[in-house]
Amino acid sequence: MQLPHALAIAEGVQLWPEALDQSQQAELLGAVLSAVEKAPFVHPTMPRTGTPFSVTQTNFGTLGWVSDRDGYRYQELHPNTGKPWPPIPPMLISLWHAALPDAPDPQCCLVNYYDAGARMGLHQDRDETALDVPVLSVSLGAKALFRLGGTSRKSPSRSLTLHSGDLLAFGGPARLAFHGIDRIVAGSCGLVPDGGRINLTLRRV
Ligand code: MD3
Ligand code: FE
């Protein structure tokens, strides 16, 4: 996999707009949905309160990120099936190395599914010890209004539209940036079943 030069969106943030063309998006979605058959989407809940997330999630790779009443953590087994997470599809591994030539293989691919009403509040990803390695995000399906802030919750934030096929890397100071999804634009893309959106984030843990 070859990628063109990335756009620098902010310090440590690289964007490859529509890095995947329609046929590559369809191929990746096929690989993702077939792996999801072995590791169905889970309804995560907030630590302590048990409030459900509006997104559903699953993982591929040796470690998966889960959230339930007991907290946030990485674990080797799917919480409902008790089986290891499926392998990360080879196409995602190729994208990772094309985008991040110095990084070792990813250990986790968190899969978020957004239906029309789903969102993700402003948060930091800090359950990993490998904070020196960037996170790579791949978007499929409906457009999303993505919010990117700074390393403090109070830092000013900006809104970016993420499109199907976009690739984004967050490294350096951006690795600990606050970020979230304000909403998706329902009906903006027919790729994902029911007009939804799938986001894949590849990480070292
Ligand atoms: C910036 N996912 O899974 S992708 C997440 O679209 C998450 O589902 C959103 O935030 C989504 O944790 C946003 C962009 C993204 C992903 C991970 C990051 C931005 C990031 C990690 C650190 C900094
Ligand atoms: Fe995040």
The residue segments making up the domain with residue 91 are: 7-203
**What are the C-alpha distances in Å from 186 to residues 119, 145, 195?**
12, 11, 6
Q: Structural domain tally of the chain?
A: 1
Mean per-residue pLDDT for 129-148? 98
For the chain, percent of residues with pLDDT exceeding 90: 99
Is the separation of the CB atoms in 168 and 136 below 8 Å?
yes
Could you give the angle at the alpha carbon of 179 between the alpha carbons of 174 and 183, nearest 5°?
Answer: 145
Residue 199's pLDDT is 99
Averaged confidence pLDDT in the chain? 98
Give the tens place of pLDDT for each residue, 53-90. Answer: 999 999 999 999 999 999 999 999 999 999 999 999 99
Give the tens place of pLDDT for each residue, 153-197. Answer: 999 999 999 999 999 999 999 999 999 999 999 999 999 999 999
CA distance 21 to 2: 13
Can you give the CATH number for the domain in which 166 is found?
2.60.120.590
Kindly report the number of other CB atoms within 10 A of residue 165's CB atom.
21
**Residue 2, domain member (yes or no):** no
Indicate the pTM of the whole model: 0.98
Tokens of 142: 């409906």
Is the separation of the CB atoms in 74 and 89 below 8 Å?
no
Residue 75's pLDDT is 98
Give the tens place of pLDDT for each residue, 11-59. Answer: 999 999 999 999 999 999 999 999 999 999 999 999 999 999 999 999 9
**Residue 64, domain member (yes or no):** yes
**Residue 103, domain member (yes or no):** yes
Residue 137's pLDDT is 98
**Residue 42, domain member (yes or no):** yes
Residue 172's pLDDT is 98
**Residue 1, domain member (yes or no):** no
**142 burial class (0-12, 13-18, 19+ CB within 10 angstroms)?**
buried
Ligand 1 interacting residues, C-beta cut-off 6 A: 110, 112, 120, 125, 135, 137, 144, 168, 170, 174-175, 177, 179, 181, 199, 201
For residue 123, the CA-to-ligand 2 centroid distance in Å is 6
Phi first, then psi: what are they for 45, rounded to 5°? -130, 160
Residue 79's Cβ-side half-sphere holds a number of Cα atoms within 13 Å equal to 19
Residue 131's pLDDT is 98
What DSSP assignment string belongs to the chain?
A: ----PPEEEETTEEEETT-S-HHHHHHHHHHHHHHHHHS--B--B-TTT-PBPSSEEEEEES-EEEEETTEEEEESB-TTT-SBPPPPPHHHHHHHHHH-TTSPPPSEEEEEEE-TT--EEEE---S-S-TTSPEEEEEEESEEEEEE--SSTTS--EEEEE-TT-EEEE-GGGGG--EEEEEEETTS--SSGGG-EEEEEEE--
Mean per-residue pLDDT for 83-106? 98
User: Which ligand is nearest to the Cα of residue 55, counting in written order?
Assistant: 1
Residue 173's pLDDT is 97
> What residue owns the CA closest to ligand 1's atom 5?
201
**Residue 104, domain member (yes or no):** yes
**Residue 171, domain member (yes or no):** yes
Residue 119's pLDDT is 98
**Residue 139, domain member (yes or no):** yes
User: Which ligand is nearest to the Cα of residue 120, counting in written order?
Assistant: 1
Closest CA to 165 of 148, 149, 188, 181: 188
For residue 176, the CA-to-ligand 2 centroid distance in Å is 9
User: Ligand 1: which atom is nearest the Cα of residue 144?
Assistant: 6
